[in-house]
Amino acid sequence: MTMIQALNSAMDVMLERDPDVLIFGEDVGYFGGVFRATEGLQKKHGLERCFDTPISESGLIGVAVGMGAYGLRPVVEIQFADYIYPAYDQIVSEVARLRYRSAGQFIAPLTIRSPYGGGIYGGQTHSQSPEALFTHVAGLKVVIPSTPYDAKGLLISAIEDDDPVIFLEPKRIYNGPFDGRHDRPLTPWAKHPASETPEGHYKVPLSEAAIVRPGASVTILAYGTMVHVALAAVEDTGVDAEVIDLRTLWPVDIDAITASVKKTGRCVIVHEATRTSGFGAELSALVQEHCFYSLEAPIERVAGWDTPYPHAFEWEYFPGPDRVATALRRVMEA
């Protein structure tokens, strides 16, 4: 499967298994979504289980909160992560707080899906990476897959979870892995082992990172598209790096991070979001706190620039394998 097909399969499976699951958002029903992630679900499961809504992100999430409190499990699509900001008050003030505020009498088992990230010439309003905003909010879980297999298993886990989950999908790798080299032909998911995705129900646990490449010299922490960029940089440099795909940003798998950095003594953190106050800053602080006496070099961060996502200079902004390779060499020489 492609990642789009895997996500579609996850929602299809959950619609069949659980009558309390329903899917809604802008254009997700008849049209099947801008990226076709919900294609065919309305036709198969009916208008009451998969339906279109007005263009009102705040309204979408506000309705979903009530549904969750009532006992339903809504899966809401925000068409692009750039459009999630009108819903931010509902997510922070209502969704994230409901279980705490009601002393456990109510829960908000929402899954909020949204494509995020650049690399598609979307410019400043279709390329943002807002994940750090949600890792800062107590009560939310934040998940980002990097392969079709993980995407399906993580989405099923998110839908079945009793806590609200922000499920961000790196749209640059919807149809194939991307190593950051935009001037080369796209490799389809069919040629990647992680595209082998079971048809039925299975789960990938939340809050468990994956070691996608074992290594002994340096730890690379990445998620989403940047996992593939990191692997390309390792291949270019020949550095024996251990690449960790976080998968769940929060609650993060600190045990996996600590074990790896204590083994390698070095750490490079890669994400596409802007550098200042990006999630890499939190990761850097965690590594410093937990692995200080094991570090043999300063922690390196490779990230987007502190600017709006530029259309004309997309590939200067995008943290490609050359920038990651530079950081790897620097940390190995320190």
- DSSP secondary structure of 248-302: EEES--HHHHHHHHHHHS-EEEEEEEESTT-HHHHHHHHHHHHHGGG-SS--EEE
- Per-residue exposure over 212-240, b if at least 16 CB sit within 10 Å of its own CB, e if not: bbebebbbbbbbbbbbbbbbbbbeebebe
> How many other C-beta atoms lie within 10 A of the C-beta of residue 330?
13
How would you write the pLDDT of the chain (334 residues) with one tens digit per residue?
Answer: 999 999 999 999 999 999 999 999 999 999 999 999 999 999 999 999 999 999 999 999 999 999 999 999 999 999 999 999 999 999 999 999 999 999 999 999 999 999 999 998 888 899 999 999 999 999 999 999 999 999 999 999 999 999 999 999 999 999 999 999 999 888 899 999 999 999 999 999 999 999 999 999 999 999 999 999 999 999 999 999 999 999 999 999 999 999 999 999 999 999 999 999 999 999 999 999 999 999 999 999 999 999 999 989 999 999 999 999 999 999 999 8
Rounded Cα–Cα distance for residues 265 and 67 (Å): 47
Q: Which of 126, 182, 201, 271 is catalytic?
A: 126
Q: Please work out, in degrees rounded to the nearest 5, the angle formed at the alpha carbon of residue 301 by the alpha carbons of 117 and 273.
A: 20
Delineate the domains of the chain, giving CATH numbers in brackets.
3-195 (3.40.50.970), 210-333 (3.40.50.920)
Owner of token pair 């490079």: 268
For residues 258 and 212, is the Cβ–Cβ distance under 8 A? no
Active site residue 192: no
Query: pTM of the entire structure?
Result: 0.96
